[in-house]
């Protein structure tokens, strides 16, 4: 019995460390991308002074296991953006999870045009807002990019939450977080707001 418990503990520790390293890698690559003038959404002025994005500390608490529920017969809809553009999305399913003993649900979406491109057929879009919005994080909410996962237990890593490009440059058109994806909790993970 002791060996089984030790094995389970070690396995959990290894997976946790792997997740945390993946979070760190994501944040490092995001900073590299924003520092690259060919890829960066930053204005020229901000790019000249850019030293890195401000992140909440990476932690296991915000790498959550969620129960995935596939929704059927969902029709494409035009998602509202910060401009008149309304890209077509479809609700792919629901992710139900708990943090600090509270139950939450987020809808996860597919971009109809994007999934037609090579390498993006399993791409999912998870926009959300929370109680840090307008304080520590961007007022308009944040995004998490996901891929379709196997089974019904999926992982959401909020350490990989990033701001829409509109948080850095008003020239961009960004999807507005749907009201049903507003979380009544502080998600102290991922990218913080860019300007005070």
Residues 48-71 have pLDDT tens digits of 999 999 999 999 999 999 999 999
Distance in angstroms (rounded) separating the CA atoms of residues 56 and 65: 20
pLDDT of residue 3 exceeding 90, the answer is no
Burial class of residue 48 in the structure, from the number of CB atoms within 10 Å of its CB (0-12 exposed, 13-18 middle, 19+ buried): exposed
- Give the chain's mean pLDDT: 91
Domains of the chain: which residue ranges?
56-181
* pLDDT, mean of residues 159-183: 96
Instruction: Give the whole-angstrom CA distance, residue 63 versus residue 41.
Output: 27
Distances from the Cα of 13 to the Cα of 10, 18, 192, angstroms: 5, 9, 27
Provide the H-helix boundaries in the chain.
2-35, 44-48
pLDDT of residue 13: 44
Exposure string of 164-175, with b = 16+ CB inside 10 Å and e = fewer, is bbbbbeeeeebb
Kindly tell me if the per-residue pLDDT of 16 is higher than 80: no
Provide, rounded to the nearest whole percent, the portion of the chain with pLDDT above 90: 88
Is residue 6 pLDDT above 50, yes or no?
no
Give the max Cα distance, the chain.
61
Confidence band, pLDDT 50/70/90 cuts, at residue 2: low
> What's the pLDDT at 20?
87
């Amino acid at each position: 019995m002791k060996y089984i418990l030790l094995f389970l503990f070690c396995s959990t520790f290894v997976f946790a460390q792997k997740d945390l390293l993946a979070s760190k890698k994501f944040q490092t690559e995001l900073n590299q991308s924003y520092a690259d003038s060919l890829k960066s959404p930053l204005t020229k002025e901000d790019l000249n002074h850019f030293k890195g994005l401000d992140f909440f500390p990476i932690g296991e608490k915000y790498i959550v296991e969620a129960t995935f529920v596939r929704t059927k017969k969902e029709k494409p809809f035009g998602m509202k953006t910060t401009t008149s553009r309304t890209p077509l999305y479809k609700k792919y399913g629901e992710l139900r999870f708990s943090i600090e003993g509270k139950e939450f649900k987020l809808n996860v979406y597919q971009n109809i045009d994007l999934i037609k491109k090579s390498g993006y057929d399993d791409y999912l879009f998870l926009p959300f807002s929370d109680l840090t919005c307008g304080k520590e994080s961007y007022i308009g909410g944040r995004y998490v990019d996901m891929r379709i996962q196997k089974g019904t237990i999926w992982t959401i890593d909020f350490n990989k939450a990033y701001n829409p490009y509109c948080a850095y440059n008003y020239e961009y058109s960004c999807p507005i977080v749907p009201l049903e994806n507003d979380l009544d909790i502080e998600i102290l993970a991922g990218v913080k707001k860019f300007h005070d």
